[in-house]
Structure 1
Amino acid sequence: MRLKDRVAIVVGAGQSPGEGIGNGRATALTFAREGARVLCVDHNLTSAQETVDMIAAKGGTAAAFEADVTRNAELKAMVSDAVARWGRVDILHNNVGVSIAGGDAELLDITEEALDRCVAINLKSCIFAAKHVIPIMRQQMSGAIINISSMAAITTYPYVAYKATKSAMISFTEQLAYQNAQYGIRANVILPGLMNTPMAVDTRAREFKKSRAEVEAERDAKVPLRGKMGTGWDVANAALFLASDEAGFITGVTLPVDGGASVRRG
C-alpha cells in the first residue's frame, strides 16, 4: 500500500483497441492496487470506465472522467473533479501520446494539421494539466508529477512530431522539477522503449498492413534484454516507484524503461 490514501489523476487511463494492456491502464490499476484513489481520464469514456471497473473488481477506488486533453478547459475540469471528489491531488500521471495515429510523418511528408494535432495531444496537454495541479500541490506542499515521454526523444526515430514533442516533454519536466522543488513537489519523466501495447503494436499492424505477430517479432528483435519488448506493467512499476515515498529524494530525473536499448552506442 505504497500510495495509501493518496489521490492520483491518470491521464490516458483507457487504451486503444488491440491485445494486451496499455501503459495508462496498467498504471491506473497499479496505483489503485497500492491504495490510491484514481481518477481515470480518457477521451474515450467507455474505455476509462472499463479501467474503473477493473479497479473496482479488485476492491479499489476509482472514477472515470471524459476529457479532450487538447482543451485547456477540460483539463481544468478534470482537476476540479478530483478535488471535488477526494479533496486533494497527490499524483499527476500524464500518459497521452500519439504519433502515427495522429498523422505524424517524416519531415517532407508532414502536414500542418498533423503537427498541430500531435503537439496539442503530446505536449500542450502535459503543460496545461500541470498548470492546474501545481497550485493545489503547492498549497499541500507535496505532490508528484510523472510524465511519459519516449525513447524516441533520445534515439533515432523517423517521424517529426512525436520526437520533437517527446523531447520537449523532458525539458518541461526538468523545469517543473526545479521551479517547484521548494514546495515539496517532485517531477520526473519516464522514457518507455519498445513496448508490447495496443497503441504501439496493433496501430502499426493496421497502418503497415502486417499481422500483429510480424510487428511483434520485428520489435522484439531490436530489444537487447532477452529479445522481448516490455509491457505496460513495466512502465507502471516505474511510475509507482516515482510516485511513492521511496523516490522522495528523486526529482528532475529521466528514467529509461527500455530493456537496455539506450546503452547501445554507434
Structure 2
Amino acid sequence: MNANGQAGAGRLAGKVAVIFGAGCVGPGWGNGRAIAVRFAQEGAVVVAVDKRPESLPETLDLAGACGARIQTHICDVGDAAQVAGLVDAVVQRHGRIDILVNNVGGPIPGGPAVLSQADWQRQLDLNLTSVFTTCQHVLPIMEAQGAGAVVNVSSTSAIRWTGSPQVGYAAAKAGVMQFGRVVGVEYARKGVRINTVLPGQLHTPLVDAFLAGQQTEGDIEALLERRRRRIPLPLSGDGRDTANAVLFLASDEARFVTGTELVVDGGMSARCD
C-alpha cells in the first residue's frame, strides 16, 4: 500500500527496517512515528523501537491497515546490552536487517556557563552515543550481507543557531552529522550507505510537550509563530516531511548517495537573517 492507500509493491518491499525512537512524546506526527508509518506504507517489515511502551500504540493506529507490518519492541538505546539483545532478536526472526534509522534524541536548554556537567553528558549520550551504539551492533550484520542503509536523524541545530542556547544538543547533533560522513566513507566499499537527515523547526509533539515550556513559558502558539517567521516556505512542516526524506535515503533510489546530509527545514538554514 502506498501513501495514497493504493495497493502496490512499495519502495521498501521485502526490506527489514529497524527504527529506534519510533514512538513519540505526545499525540501527532513525530519524526520516528511518521518514519515507521511511511516505511510500512512502502512495504517494509518495520521493527518500531522505543523505550516508552505507551508511545507505540498511536504509531500502529496511524499506520491503519499497514500497521500489520509494524512490530513494536521496547528497548532503551542508552543500554548497550538491551540494544544487542534487540538486534539479535530481529536477526533471529527475520534473518537480516536492511535499514537502520536512528531517531532518538532531544534538547536540554543552556549554554556552557549554565548547562551542568551531568546534563552535557546526558545530551551526548542521548543524541550521539545512541547512534554509535546501534551502529556498533547493526553494521557488522549489514557488512556480512554486503548491503544496508543507515539514516541518522540530526537537526539544523548542528549547522545553525536556531533560536535558543542548547549547546549540548547542537554539539551532539553536529557529531551525528560527522559520524555519518566518516562511517559512510568507511563502509561504502562494503555496500552499506550512511546518510543523515537534518530536520528544521517542524511542528512535532515535542514542541507542545517540552519546547514551548523551555522557550516561551508554555505558550505553544507564540513558539510556533516565532518559528514560522524564520521559514521562507509558507507552511509548517511536521514529522511526515522528515519521514519522506528518510524514506528516500533508505530506498534504492538513493543507491549513489552516501556520507551526506539532507536538510528538511523549509529553507530556514539558507536565510541570512
Same-fold status (TM-score > 0.5) = yes
2:128 to 123, 126, 129: 123
The aligned residue for residue 24 of structure 1 is: 32
| Paired letter, 2:184 | A
Structure 1 residue 257 corresponds to structure 2 residue 240: no
Judge conservation of contact 2:18–2:97 (CA < 8 Å) in 1: yes
Structure 1 residue 93 corresponds to structure 2 residue 98: no
User: SS at the partner of 2:256?
Assistant: coil
**How far off its partner does 1:202 sit?**
3.4
**How far off its partner does 1:53 sit?**
4.6
**How far off its partner does 1:82 sit?**
1.5
Aligned ranges for residues 154-193 of structure 1 at < 5 Å? 154-157=159-162, 158-193=165-200
Distance in 2, matches of 1:84 and 1:53, equals 27
The aligned residue for residue 139 of structure 1 is: 144
Distance in 2, matches of 1:200 and 1:47, equals 16
- CA distances 1:185-231 after superposition (whole Å, capped 9, x unpaired): 000001101100011343122334233222211111111111x3311
**How far off its partner does 1:96 sit?**
0.9
Judge conservation of contact 1:96–1:122 (CA < 8 Å) in 2: yes
| Paired letter, 1:176 | V
The aligned residue for residue 242 of structure 1 is: 249
| Paired letter, 1:217 | E
| Paired letter, 1:12 | G
**How far off its partner does 1:69 sit?**
1.1
> Which segment is superposed worse, 136-145 or 156-165?
156-165
TM-score by length of 1: 0.93
1:63 to 63, 68, 71: 71
TM-score by length of 2: 0.91
Structure 1 residue 52 corresponds to structure 2 residue 60: yes
1:33 to 41, 52, 69: 41
Judge conservation of contact 1:55–1:61 (CA < 8 Å) in 2: no
Q: Which 4+ residue blocks in structure 1 deviate beyond 6 angstroms?
A: none
**How far off its partner does 1:75 sit?**
1.3
| Paired letter, 2:245 | A
- CA distances 1:156-188 after superposition (whole Å, capped 9, x unpaired): 142110010000111110111111111110000
Decide whether aligned partners of structure 1 residues 179 and 243 sit closer, same or farther in structure 2, where only a CA change above 3 A counts. same
**How far off its partner does 1:131 sit?**
0.8
The aligned residue for residue 227 of structure 2 is: 219
> Which segment is superposed worse, 25-34 or 38-47?
38-47
RMSD: 1.5
Judge conservation of contact 1:7–1:86 (CA < 8 Å) in 2: yes
Structure 2 unaligned spans of 5+: 1-9
The aligned residue for residue 113 of structure 2 is: 108
The share of aligned pairs that are identical, in percent, is: 40
Structure 1 unaligned spans of 5+: none
User: SS at the partner of 1:27?
Assistant: helix
Distance in 2, matches of 1:200 and 1:253, equals 27
Judge conservation of contact 1:40–1:52 (CA < 8 Å) in 2: no
- CA distances 1:109-137 after superposition (whole Å, capped 9, x unpaired): 11011111111110011001001111110
Distance in 2, matches of 1:85 and 1:51, equals 22
User: SS at the partner of 2:46?
Assistant: strand
